[in-house]
Amino acid sequence: MSSQVVRRYRWALLMPLSFSVITSVNAEEKKDWEINLGLGAFVSPAYEGSDETEVMPFPLVDITWKERVFLNPGDGLGVHLYNKNDLTVSASIGYEMGRQEDDSNALKGLGDIDDAASANFSVEYDLGPVSPYLDVSKHLGGTDGTLVEIGIQSRVPFASLMGKTPGQFENGSPKGLMFHMGLSTTWADDNYMKDYFGINNRQAASSGYSRYSAGAGFKSADLEFGARYPFSENWAINAQIGYSRLLEDAADSPIVKEEDQFSGGIFLSYSF
């Protein structure tokens, strides 16, 4: 599963935390710890550009301490450097999953791309239910590549769409169905594109693909839609689907069998 896909899917679990954007909560009522745990099933392409899919269990973990320190599968372990006046600036250390040659027969002869740590930096500005953001991720090993994601996301309770005021449980968590939508594009540098989409002379000789040079540029355009339904103060069902369209040199790579990439998952989560 692509690490970028995992990063996007963090919103499936973080949606309950975003409710504070829509509903005011007194500072005295806020807890030092916000913990959300879950488990579900996830369907995604076998690799970026694959026409095969894989199904795997997927744990959801999101822990926040005093709205400053956080841990989640998308961003890793990090801190909000600035979190005031609707602007959030964050830095974190995460984990980037590589790519294994045996993930698909289409990758035979290309070799493995090693897993690596990543240094992540993000900026998000809250405009109510809509938030533009910028994510930068530098791989510390593996491809040694850099990804820059620019996008906008929206988190809206279904009740608000119907012109009603969203309700709350006794512990302050939101009641009712909540939607998340996001639109983004991702730029990748030469290192990332060369390793994930390029074919060098050695790989061409061992795989049968023609040599291909992939350079820096916009790698993909992405769209996702999610929903969360809490059926008690602590338990909720989360679901999300995503669509990614490979672009430019990524789309033209010989290893890309399908430019249109779909993914989805459903999860059960518990917050306390």
Residue 66 lies in a domain: no
pTM reported for the whole predicted model:
0.87
Residue 246 lies in a domain: yes
List the pLDDT tens digit at each of the 272 positions of the chain: 555 555 555 555 454 444 443 343 444 456 789 898 989 998 999 999 999 999 989 888 899 999 899 998 888 999 999 999 999 999 999 999 999 999 999 999 999 999 999 999 999 999 988 999 999 999 999 999 999 999 999 988 877 777 777 777 776 677 889 999 999 999 999 999 999 999 999 999 999 999 999 999 999 999 999 999 999 888 999 999 999 999 999 999 999 999 999 999 999 999 88
Residue 84 lies in a domain: no
pLDDT for 9: 56
pLDDT for 30: 62
Distance linking the first and last C-alpha atoms of the chain = 29
Structure tokens at 10: 């963090």
pLDDT for 18: 43
Residue 256 lies in a domain: yes
User: DSSP assignment, residue 175?
Assistant: P
pLDDT for 220: 97
Give the bridge partners for 132, in sequence order: 152
5 three-state secondary structure: helix
Task: Convert 185-202 to b/e letters by CB count within 10 Å (16 or more is b).
Answer: ebbbbbbbbbbbbbbeee
pLDDT for 73: 84
Structure tokens at 7: 């990063």
Q: Give the H or E element holding residue 190.
A: helix 190-197
Residue 98 lies in a domain: no
Q: How far is CA 82 from the centre of its chain?
A: 21
- Which residue, 224, 234, 177, 208, is CA-closest to 38? 234
| Angstrom distances, CA of residue 95 to CA of 49, 214, 238 | 21, 24, 23
- Which residue, 159, 142, 148, 123, is CA-closest to 196? 142
Range of the domain at 180: 3-61+142-271
CB 93 within 8 A of CB 119: yes
Count CB-CB contacts under 10 A for residue 175. Answer: 17
pLDDT for 250: 97
Structure tokens at 243: 């669509």
Phi, psi of 44 (to 5 degrees): -155, 165
Count CB-CB contacts under 10 A for residue 136. Answer: 17
Structure tokens at 2: 């692509």
CB 62 within 8 A of CB 7: no
What is the total count of domains within the chain?
1
pLDDT for 60: 83
pLDDT for 19: 43
Residue 101 lies in a domain: no
